[in-house]
Structure 1
């Protein structure tokens, strides 16, 4: 691979590659930030839309980089912080003399600093950060926190409270909180997961807890053999108190897809456990001993379903064919996705060759942000962005089980229109946010700054108390 006679030449290649890597990452992030700025200027007022400027930019980023929507959103926010809150650090990053680890630490540890103080802090850190490259992560955090404390003591980050980040597959504990972890068989884990999901859904929509917090509380309810969670909304018209049958947690079902040969023992092709992935053939046969077996029909040459909503048979096939949202890089399971008509109904029929799954965010992106898609009879999607960038995705289920990629029939469909812009009258129909991302960030920062201020005050009180108890004035 290398024709260098001297080892020092290899070391030179390493050093140059490291600097070029940092430069490329910096350029990519600054390009993301610039794209965000252009979306702000070109699109109508989307700040209060569920698909806001950040989500619209993330749709482009996830498609071109083939990453999930959540990672793309994080990258957009990271890029904007680098470009607009830390421009001096960004210049150092572009030179390649600091790496991504350094930049991510700086962005994270300066996130709570007041905007008016950031320019001076940015310049100070940019002058010194190249000297910190050899520091370990804890020491690097200490250096950044030291500079933050000099400019804005209340902006020093506060460690998160475990109690506020409750989730069932727990990995950390604190006094008063339990540690629950373990390695389970995939089928047992899926059954437990489904049970927790069912319990978490027994409260009304006004319950103040997050989804993860409801799952954590569902573990206690499950241990007490309770059929439902107690809703904490405090409303007299709470629908959970009515015992709605569709929200009871009486049963938990898991779904496994496998070939007939695997069930019969003539093949060791693994199956697929929805939500947890590949299931070895031996495990498939073990689960099948007590399971209800149901053949999956491939709707080849089938007539379109009547009406807008697909039949249960079509939904079942689409669910196993797609498994996840069909947007590039998105892994949202079909249970949390919408069935989207590629050519909008009624011009496009409700048929497997014209329907697939998009998660709610990507469904809205396609509908309101000028994206265009085309679907092939085997389920392949050709997606085109408003900028003209084109990418192709194949169904995840059909990629693992080729039988599911059997063409379901050619349709005589009109071409879908490509809309480069999102007119204001169309955006008015988009679901709205209760708070903008900027307001969410402001509230989190204000709460953490208050907590840091209280910690500083408590430290000062303790210091004064120690002085009062131990300080003895010198005799004269």
Structure 2
């Protein structure tokens, strides 16, 4: 049994919810304001650096990601919205700062106004949206997008984001982790492509004998493997020595998926899950043993008390160990898989740093450049722990990804002298960092040029679609009808 709350209590709880939602929006807006101010401060220190491989935008996005312990992509996203709040949509930004709209609504407005390039038209849309959006809190996402699009269309018809059904430009395939060791695949493709894929999966699913224990749906799913391997058959799982398909297994290919696992699990005496680099996910022991039966196994031996290697490039054994120990990029917040990372000497090899597990770690390309040219300093401990000091003085500590999953890989690998591998980089002055950044590799096209080109192309396609729709309507209602409205958009028939 329960007693219903009094009306006054319910009213108080509703007010608390509203206040909490407004406060949350204000805090998120304040976060973006701080990010924008950080960007301006870095611009004042180092300049625009637009043609650098890691420009000021990327450097600040990485600093944001480290501070908020999020991915580089998320850090870049926060910076993008911070700049839009200051430069493109200041009036909507003030509504956001006051808690009148939430972060999700603000992000949708930024995205759907991205194609407006004329300052006057953008200011008009900004003013309209600032007045209207606080009243749109009850709209669904779809209706909210349509309401924003109406404001954009009024300001600039060619800047409206076209819907998926308007063209095939939003084709995609997405692979998402779900349960342990299983993923979900979804996407959009042209009809002909989908039909061909459906037929090919049926064909591959039919290349096993009648005693295969899997259902048709399971075989169609498993057929994605030989499809990816460019094989012409699905391996049969009947387990019979006399299987008519036994001599017709799919050929080996050059596609490799790296998995880290305990030997005890593979032998059946342990139940620890395995880890797959590219998907950043765990594989249950039962599935791991099934996969191991057809996989190449390479032992990873921790190089405890091993002497430093003489060459700059680590041996395969050392490289394999470092990647299995680290699992991901070792910069704070970064989750790029170790197999996609570069191996970095914490103390540079040219400065006497050792090619040794206690002085080598995985860094993605962006964080490697930040460490080399942008004043990110790091100290590496014998167990693989990294102590980072960023240009602003913030200190972050990252531990190897294997510390929790495979603690044996995170055991200390030997103490090196400061000159060989534990000394932290020299603190950089603003002048020194600017001089170092001047040596940064250059990009062929700046971030602004790429963005302007993408916007121009989407606007061109939008205009082409709009004019085609207008011509179609003219053919329906007559060649001379509506000539006095030639510069207006057609009604939404």
Give me the TM-score of the superposition, normalised by structure 2: 0.79
Q: Please state if 1:287 is matched with 2:284.
A: no
Match of 2:426 among 417, 425, 428: 417
Structure-2 change in CA distance of 1:128 and 1:337 (3 Å): same
Equivalent residue for 1:271? Answer: 274
Equivalent residue for 1:355? Answer: 360
Structure 2: distance between partners of 1:14 and 1:51: 42
Q: Secondary structure at the match of 2:356?
A: coil
Q: Secondary structure at the match of 1:392?
A: strand
Contact map agreement 2:173 2:188 (CA 8 A) in 1: no
Structure-2 change in CA distance of 1:256 and 1:462 (3 Å): closer
Q: Please state if 1:446 is matched with 2:441.
A: no
Structure-to-structure mapping, 1:425-444, within 5 angstroms = 425-444=435-454
Q: Please state if 1:304 is matched with 2:320.
A: no
Structure-to-structure mapping, 1:144-163, within 5 angstroms = 144-159=148-163, 162=168
1:31-53 CA-to-partner distances (Å, cap 9, x unmatched) read 11221122122114511011011
Residue 190 of structure 1 deviates from its aligned partner by 10
Residue 293 of structure 1 deviates from its aligned partner by 3.3
Match of 2:88 among 85, 101, 108: 85
Structure-2 change in CA distance of 1:310 and 1:98 (3 Å): same
Residue 250 of structure 1 deviates from its aligned partner by 4.6
Structure 2: distance between partners of 1:377 and 1:163: 50
Contact map agreement 1:114 1:152 (CA 8 A) in 2: no
Q: Secondary structure at the match of 1:278?
A: strand
Structure-2 change in CA distance of 1:188 and 1:31 (3 Å): farther
Equivalent residue for 2:471? Answer: 461
Structure-2 change in CA distance of 1:292 and 1:109 (3 Å): closer
1:177-234 CA-to-partner distances (Å, cap 9, x unmatched) read 327599989x9699669x56xxxxxxxxxxxxxxxxxxxxxxxxx3789xxxxxxxxx
Count of aligned pairs between the two proteins: 420
Q: Secondary structure at the match of 1:6?
A: helix
1:417-442 CA-to-partner distances (Å, cap 9, x unmatched) read 12143645433432211211111111
**Which of 261-270 and 17-26 deviates more?**
261-270
Residue 273 of structure 1 deviates from its aligned partner by 2.8
Residue 135 of structure 1 deviates from its aligned partner by 1.1
Structure 2: distance between partners of 1:348 and 1:167: 43
Contact map agreement 1:369 1:420 (CA 8 A) in 2: no
Q: Please state if 1:325 is matched with 2:329.
A: yes
Structure-to-structure mapping, 1:243-254, within 5 angstroms = 250-254=253-257
Structure-2 change in CA distance of 1:110 and 1:387 (3 Å): same
Match of 2:189 among 155, 166, 173: 173
Structure 1: distance between partners of 2:81 and 2:226: 35
Residue 271 of structure 1 deviates from its aligned partner by 1.7
Structure-to-structure mapping, 1:112-131, within 5 angstroms = 112-116=115-119, 117-131=121-135
Match of 1:395 among 387, 400, 413: 400
Contact map agreement 2:172 2:189 (CA 8 A) in 1: no
Equivalent residue for 2:411? Answer: 406
Q: Secondary structure at the match of 1:383?
A: strand
Contact map agreement 2:277 2:338 (CA 8 A) in 1: no
Q: Secondary structure at the match of 1:21?
A: helix
Structure-2 change in CA distance of 1:45 and 1:456 (3 Å): closer
Residue 288 of structure 1 deviates from its aligned partner by 2.8
Structure 2: distance between partners of 1:32 and 1:295: 45
Where in structure 1 are there 5+ consecutive unaligned residues?
197-221, 226-248, 472-476
Where in structure 2 are there 5+ consecutive unaligned residues?
175-184, 202-216, 234-251, 482-493
Contact map agreement 2:50 2:446 (CA 8 A) in 1: yes
Residue 411 of structure 1 deviates from its aligned partner by 1.1
Structure 1: distance between partners of 2:87 and 2:371: 29
How well do the aligned residues superpose, as a CA RMSD in angstroms? 2.9
Residue 162 of structure 1 deviates from its aligned partner by 4.1
Contact map agreement 1:109 1:144 (CA 8 A) in 2: yes
